[in-house]
Structure 1
Amino acid sequence: MLKTTTAALALFAALAAPALALTTPYPVSDVEVTTNIEGVEVGDVTEYYPAFNDDLARAIWDRVENPMTDGSNGFEIDVKVTSLQLDGGPMGAQGEFNQIEGIAVYTFHGADNPAGTFPIAVNARAGDSVAGAVNLMPGEGDYYVAMLDAFAQGVQNKLADLPAPEPEANMSDN
């Protein structure tokens, strides 16, 4: 009886190992960020924020719970920033913005099709403060970092909405 139970458990473990190998949080093996804003030249963004794409990619990596930097067996996240606006209009004269929108596409390494495509949007709004509270105005750099961090958190949060990768993609080593 003990031999039969042990053999059954060993067989189950051998068969289930590939399926159980990928657990949440799902691993991320690559993050790419591009900026493609209709009516706005990329130079307009990079004039004020020279490392915008790199800064956003770094903010996403900082939030990834299971990073795999070897480039395999993880989700590849492609982010396309499509809008930077100030109160629903173009960026301000000095590069001010309080809205950032984009699309995040999640494809498991080696898979032919994306596992998920999600819009990501961050809108910062000023509001009334609580009576007696001390109000501090963020500096330009603080605001920029906060906007990118919020967008990056939205990208990270969508990982939980992805279906488990197919076993064939999980075992692939393309």
Structure 2
Amino acid sequence: MIQSLAISDVKLITPKRFGDARGFFSETWNSKLLRDEGIDLEFVQDNHSYSAARGVLRGLHFQNLPHAQDKLVRCTRGRVYDVAVDIRRGSPTFGQYVGAELSAENWAQILVPKGFAHGFVTLEDHCELQYKVTDYYAPECDMSIRWNDPAIGIDWMIDPSVVTLSEKDASAPLLSEVECGFVYKSAHAGSGQG
């Protein structure tokens, strides 16, 4: 099942899961099926993130041009609140965010396209995220935006006093201070993703 979130370029994808007394089986990515739904991406790298405690917040992260990444994120252990922020200049939803709970139980995935910053916070201990990306890690293009930027106003669904951050994320700049190359293209002009 594929549904658009409030910012329609961000998709929530819930693969079918077939279970019995032994456990379950699921196709978590099928390029042909998703291409038939208009999602035509070539993933080149898989990443796996583990967070030991509730309240670990990672983000808001993105790779700038020319190494921008689409991300397909899923939670395979525990429960997180996952967020995408529109950072495409000229977009009608610039600086706005959408979020969804991802968990091992609900089996949902979030597709975060190029031109969006991504972050998540763990809602319980021992969370693992796995995500696919469409370009390789490029440290020179690795950028961050402050997780609690008041202009974005993200409700992280958790008490901010319990949040644990990396030093890099704690000192990230505000969106207004970030120079990135993403420009919104309307559906009439192209993909709208970069």
TM-score (ref. length: structure 1): 0.23
TM-score (ref. length: structure 2): 0.22
The structure carrying a bigger strand percent of its residues is 2
Which structure is larger by alpha-carbon Rg, 1 or 2? Answer: 1
The structure carrying a bigger helix percent of its residues is 1
- Higher relative contact order at CA 8 Å, sep ≥6: structure 1 or structure 2? 2
